[in-house]
Chains A and B, each alone.
Chain A
Amino acid sequence: MTRVGPAYVARGALTALGVAAMGWGLRGIVVEADRVHPRSFGTWFVGALLVHDAVIAPLVFALAAYVLPRVRPPYRACVQAGLIVSGVLILISIPVVGGYGRRDDNTSTLPLDYGRNLVLLLVIVWLTTFAVVGWRLLHVHRTTPKRKST
């Protein structure tokens, strides 16, 4: 049985507030349908979810399943970290590297060579990763505990 205490009331109030906010959002989508274009909105709203759940997430799990067993255990953490940082950098640079927003009549939009910049950043990320791996390699006999037999 659920006890009705202040925490329970607070959670109820928070739920009500959340439902009200969602209602306000839905109302706006209907009332300002001429700007929101509900069909386009719905496509991108559901599309964003599908791209994550059906593309990005499986890719991440597949990449991890392929790469990590090929890395010796003491260095897995470093490689994981390098992959995470690289993946996010690549994702957020898609619009600028693609240059879709560049305008011929406005040279101040997307003014940099973003492909080169992304490569430069990835090189820095992996140099750092390998530097940490190298450092661990030199110290591994002192820092790695004995393998457990499980």
Chain B
Amino acid sequence: MVRPASQRLKDLVTTNPGGPFAEGAFTSRLHSRRTAAWLGMALGVTFGICFLTGLISHAIQMPPAWFTWPSRPVSLFRLTQGLHIATGLATFPILLAKLWTVYPHFWTWPAARGVAHALERAALFPLVAGSAFLLWSGLSNIGLWYPFAFFFPTAHYYAAWLTIGAMLVHIAAKAPVIREALSRRSSDLDEPAGDGLSRRGFLGTVAAAAGLITLVTAGQTVWPLRRLALLAPRRPDIGPQGFPVNKSAKSAKVLVTATSPLYALTITGAGATPVTLTLADLQSMEQVTETLPIACVEGWSTVQTWTGVRVRDLLDLAGAPRRAKVRVESLQVGGLYRTSVLNRKHARDAKTLLALRVNGEPLHLEHGYPLRLIGPNRPGVQQTKWVSSLVVLA
């Protein structure tokens, strides 16, 4: 008997093709809802931490009108950004374990049981793709590796909104399952017998992997752990004058201008009397020494002792208004981070310096010789090097 084409098509769509689609194709007892729920809870926490600390970093660098990032506590950004990177790195084993645990569901048959099921599955696309994208692009960025055309901060930022949104939708969809799986009455509570890792052993292994990753990378910002930082892209004690550099003098094209005998700092802008100061003028002003961190958005940080002139003393010298913002400009040629803005709190903070020296020596050219900005509680990209002018903003 020859079946009609429509019947054959229907059979094709409804018959389980076997292989990974077959019932019982995945045999490990670890593919359970309880394992997935525990890992999901952990991801909720780590993604939450990364999202919040990421929002802070974004707001500091692209401040909306209502937002003024404080200049104290001195090391607040160091803490939030260090946490962002360390948490992201520790998330790798948790995310991989979670995806492994639920992987059999990828091979669900039929692929969609109805519109609601289809939508719920479709919503997993931004969640899984977004999570993998965020971790991988972040890892690539801290390794200073840019094989992509997109501008990392902006792409990572909007991918985070997509992913956190998809995560909320997922939590809402799965709430009853999570609740059941984690309850004392869960049908998953007693594990089937078997060899290999138990649920507890598996979760413990994932935690151990996360801990080990933290141990061998956190030393890029946690000074006592620096010798254990075997896989960290930076060591806080390696670089010219004993600490790292991000933008080199050569790539900033300042080799000639920064070492020129004609170098001078200018102060101009709204409400300021234009002032020009030579290096000798700056050296003859009151010198202040402060111990402040440089905290890079890429997660490394280091504390050094800086000596120089207070920015607020320079602003007072030029008669700038007390509540003004100030743009700090570099000799650097081009680049998004050629300038940075001091909001009114940073501009007036007694610890915000234009430094001439670090740890008692004149600044190395790589660290911004002859003059660099160093202020409390700022991302490293906003600690402008090779400073040529202060422009008071209206």
Contact = CB atoms under 8 A, between A and B. Distances in A.
Contacts of B106: 53
A98 B97 CA distance: 25
B274 interface: no
B47 interface: no
B162 A48 contact: no
Contacts of B148: 37, 40-41, 43-44
B145 A108 contact: no
Contacts of A98: 145
Contacts, number: 233
A99 to B, nearest CB: 9
Given A14-B172, A15-B173, A114 B231 contact: yes
Interface stretch (B69-77, B240-248, B313-321, B381-389): B240-248
Q: Which DSSP category, helix, strand, loop or mixed, fits chain B's interface? A: helix
Contacts of B89: 92
B208 interface: yes
B208 A117 contact: no
B209 interface: yes
Given A14-B172, A95-B139, A101-B144, A120 B165 contact: no
A25 interface: yes
A21 B168 contact: yes
Contacts of B244: 108-109
A25 B234 contact: no
Given A45-B130, A45-B133, A101-B233, A24 B145 contact: no
A28 interface: yes
A49 B129 contact: yes
B159 A25 contact: yes
B172 A15 contact: yes
Contact of A22 (B140, B155, B161): B161
Contacts of B159: 25, 41, 45
B386 to A, nearest CB: 15
Given A15-B172, A25-B158, A68-B196, A89 B234 contact: no
A25 B167 CA distance: 13
Interface in B174-232: 175, 193, 195-198, 201-202, 205-206, 208-209, 212-213, 216, 230-232
B136 interface: yes
B133 A121 contact: no
B168 A14 contact: yes
B143 A96 contact: yes
A126 B179 CA distance: 37
A78 to B, nearest CB: 9
**Contact-residue size bin, chain A (C-beta under 8 Å from the other chain):** 35 or more
A44 B137 contact: yes
A134 interface: no
Contact of B144 (A7, A28, A89, A103): A103
Contacts of A77: 195-198, 201
Interface in A75-111: 76-77, 80-81, 84-85, 87-89, 91-96, 98, 100-103, 105-111
A108 B240 contact: yes
Contacts of A127: none
Interface in B64-109: 89, 92-93, 96-97, 99-100, 103, 106
B126 interface: yes
A46 interface: yes
A24 B161 contact: yes
Contacts of B168: 14-15, 17-18, 21
13 contacts: A11-B172, A15-B172, A18-B170, A21-B168, A22-B166, A25-B162, A44-B137, A49-B128, A52-B99, A74-B195, A95-B233, A108-B235, A109-B234
Interface of B: 89, 92-93, 96-97, 99-100, 103, 106, 125-126, 128-130, 132-133, 136-137, 139-140, 142-151, 154-155, 157-173, 175, 193, 195-198, 201-202, 205-206, 208-209, 212-213, 216, 230-235, 238-240, 243-246, 248-251, 366
Given A22-B166, A92-B213, 19 more contacts: A17-B165, A18-B168, A19-B169, A22-B126, A23-B165, A32-B158, A35-B155, A37-B149, A53-B128, A57-B100, A84-B97, A88-B96, A89-B209, A93-B231, A95-B143, A100-B147, A108-B244, A110-B144, A118-B230
